[in-house]
Structure 1
């Protein structure tokens, strides 16, 4: 009897040890631009990801273990990102997160698609927080890619609709964009929205990215076109120098923008920014819920959420909700296929309204706010006397574009 009791005790102890050994922490890899001249945006993604993942860990993590956050500096290019994704997967990453640059996003989503085909049962999930190229939820869509940010059709649709209702759009619009996939998407979306919003695209231009120092010739083109509004997806100096050139040319032109809230833009533009419009995923001034979220974020990070940070936090919050309903495999590892299925069913009540994932293409349906740069804004930005005043709010369902016909998502059996 004593021998049987001892054997049973050892068996139970062994089972307990085996269970503990099988428990594996969830590993999430941030593959982002964390150094060099383009690091400012990548560091914002890191701040937002860490903000929400820390909250998830404080609440118990996943499967009884703290989530492990790994960081890989992709150095701003597709080739570097591809190498870092391979390294992250080799290090046991279950989920890859990235946002800066659609070119990088396109590389990562293809790398992960190919990896998952070769490694059935060991799939990796890609959470795209900022790559807005339309192809990512069109011909490049796949089951293990989720986009938690907007795209050009969403940005343009909400922008021109709000400006038209505000009586400032005019009937003649110039589409000015950078010559790569994002700029082409913006140009296409601007043309597509013309009939519904009663304007004509009088001219369109795609120009070199971050190589032009003198936009005076482009300002002359805008002047000669008779445009009343410029719709542009330009960012950084390509936006600021374009706006400056139109002012120097004496043009009273209205800009509809996408990235005017990039930190430093308002400070660099000064009074030049006043009166222009932006379509974005967050405005602290929208309501009490946005203000509460912003104050919570500032208490942890030292600054109010801006630019790419809000949608990144919301995306990680949706991940947290999906993880609640995702159990570990027998080996204690994450079942990424089950997580993806659960993520499709998450509905989050964000500060601007309901956020959900569209199962057909994994495009987030995210509330959008169109704002105008004004001195009357309650929350000033960049240390200036200006901020973003709310013009119009759109629900996620109102803002989202139709599913692209070229998206043919193969779902797991």
Structure 2
């Protein structure tokens, strides 16, 4: 082989390497360098505005924590998270309009949770958008919409749920119900939409299996967000002879229900999904001591040093007593997103979704992992009982009310986990 040929070959190799490097440089420069936009679609006005604001504070705090540590590390450089609010006004059509606006604004991560009916509408719309417009695919991260169908027969590759679904929460509550030998009569009441219906349906099923000697003396659904006076319902509860009420109500529908029951003289127990926040403890008052039970993924009075430090940090960020409702699952959601984007090495929607199927995060001693089969987050649940601030196990109260929830049962993630009927269709 003559020397000139060798020189020519080396020159060609050098030119190819230079072209490759230039192409890589152009690709890196072409990659988006702005923040990763998160679109929060929630009721920021109307009867459930307080729930939307509570969510916003939680997600904002989680986003701030990620950004404070330098953002999300990607090959092209760190990316910050940017949280943007879209008001659904508590209406499905408004939520769908907000989704379209968020996509047009460049958001590819959508967050929502307060209302399973809205979540179902968003899942359908996102499925259609992602099939029709692959260049603008969207992920839906759900922190509170707990209708079981969303990770069962209506499961979607683009949807991830970070809250325990209704059947899982009912199972945790029934772990307490089954131990109450004195309980003979139960009244079931809920909001008349998919989630409220699911709570009542599963409660009846589990009561029949675990406590067949317990009589269901009321099984009632009411319009969501439209009842201003729950005294007629309270009168029926008392007339039924019920010793306990099981409800999945949330927001003002819960606060007004328990307030009416208290004023009517109901002395029984409330088994709730959300009785530990958003005005409910203050509305119930002393009548709730030892009588209001709530299930959650975490409570401020979980007695570990890590848990206490976590709660104190949130209170330092939002010092107003009315703002103190912190959701651990929302913090784990944002941590899972950050972890998944870094593992994917990009913000490509499909790559992030595949990485999120393997999400496994821990914060303040609380661990959660995503189940790939149906995109249902798995974590331990706790059941708390209302008591006065300062009582054993109640170091922290709720919203400055003077009442808090002591943990009476911890349900391991393995115990809370339930089978799924999801048949996931993946791209």
Please give the TM-score of this superposition, normalised by the length of structure 2.
0.85
How far 1:121 moved relative to its partner? 5.6
How far 1:224 moved relative to its partner? 4.2
Q: Equivalents in 1 of 2:70, 2:257: separation in Å?
A: 49
1:388-407: CA deviation from partner (whole Å, max 9, x where unpaired): 1111011222123321x3x3
Tell me whether 297-306 or 348-357 shows the greater mean CA deviation.
297-306
**Secondary structure of the corresponding residue to residue 372 of structure 1:** strand
1:150-202: CA deviation from partner (whole Å, max 9, x where unpaired): 2221221111212333x377132221112221210111111121134213423
The 1:308/1:237 distance shift into structure 2, 3 A limit, reads same
Residue in 2 that maps onto 1:401: 418
Asked if structure 1 preserves the Cα contact closer than 8 Å seen for 2:168 and 2:416, the reply is yes
Quick check: 1:389 aligned with 2:406? yes
Q: Equivalents in 2 of 1:246, 1:75: separation in Å?
A: 28
Q: Given the alignment, which residue of 39, 42, 47 partners 1:29?
A: 39
Q: Which runs of 5+ in 1 are unaligned?
A: 329-333
Quick check: 1:362 aligned with 2:379? no
Tell me whether 245-254 or 140-149 shows the greater mean CA deviation.
245-254
Q: Equivalents in 1 of 2:336, 2:98: separation in Å?
A: 25
**Secondary structure of the corresponding residue to residue 352 of structure 2:** helix
Tell me whether 337-346 or 14-23 shows the greater mean CA deviation.
14-23
How many correspondences in the alignment? 399
**Secondary structure of the corresponding residue to residue 335 of structure 2:** helix
Q: Equivalents in 1 of 2:368, 2:416: separation in Å?
A: 12
Alignment of structure 1 residues 317-396 onto 2, 5 Å: 317-328=335-346, 334-351=347-364, 353-375=366-388, 376=391, 377-396=394-413
Asked if structure 2 preserves the Cα contact closer than 8 Å seen for 1:210 and 1:238, the reply is yes
Q: Equivalents in 2 of 1:248, 1:18: separation in Å?
A: 66
How far 1:307 moved relative to its partner? 4.8
Asked if structure 1 preserves the Cα contact closer than 8 Å seen for 2:307 and 2:364, the reply is yes
Q: Equivalents in 2 of 1:140, 1:74: separation in Å?
A: 22
Residue in 1 that maps onto 2:4: none
Alignment of structure 1 residues 154-193 onto 2, 5 Å: 154-165=168-179, 167=180, 170-193=183-206
Q: Equivalents in 1 of 2:182, 2:161: separation in Å?
A: 29
Q: Given the alignment, which residue of 110, 135, 138 partners 2:124?
A: 110
Asked if structure 1 preserves the Cα contact closer than 8 Å seen for 2:357 and 2:370, the reply is yes
Residue in 2 that maps onto 1:287: 303
1:106-146: CA deviation from partner (whole Å, max 9, x where unpaired): 22111111111112364211101121222222332100100
Residue in 2 that maps onto 1:261: 276
1:332-371: CA deviation from partner (whole Å, max 9, x where unpaired): xx22112111111122234464311121211111221100
Q: Equivalents in 2 of 1:280, 1:306: separation in Å?
A: 15
Tell me whether 318-327 or 347-356 shows the greater mean CA deviation.
347-356
Q: Equivalents in 1 of 2:377, 2:23: separation in Å?
A: 46
Q: Equivalents in 1 of 2:233, 2:59: separation in Å?
A: 38
How far 1:250 moved relative to its partner? 4.0
Residue in 2 that maps onto 1:41: 51
Asked if structure 2 preserves the Cα contact closer than 8 Å seen for 1:282 and 1:306, the reply is no
Residue in 1 that maps onto 2:151: 137
> Alignment RMSD, CA only?
2.7
**Secondary structure of the corresponding residue to residue 398 of structure 1:** helix
Residue in 2 that maps onto 1:19: 28
The 1:186/1:227 distance shift into structure 2, 3 A limit, reads same
Asked if structure 2 preserves the Cα contact closer than 8 Å seen for 1:33 and 1:76, the reply is yes
Asked if structure 1 preserves the Cα contact closer than 8 Å seen for 2:255 and 2:279, the reply is no
The 1:104/1:378 distance shift into structure 2, 3 A limit, reads same
- The structure whose Rg is larger is 2
Q: Equivalents in 2 of 1:168, 1:215: separation in Å?
A: 29
The 1:66/1:174 distance shift into structure 2, 3 A limit, reads same
How far 1:257 moved relative to its partner? 0.9
**Secondary structure of the corresponding residue to residue 369 of structure 2:** strand
Residue in 2 that maps onto 1:331: none
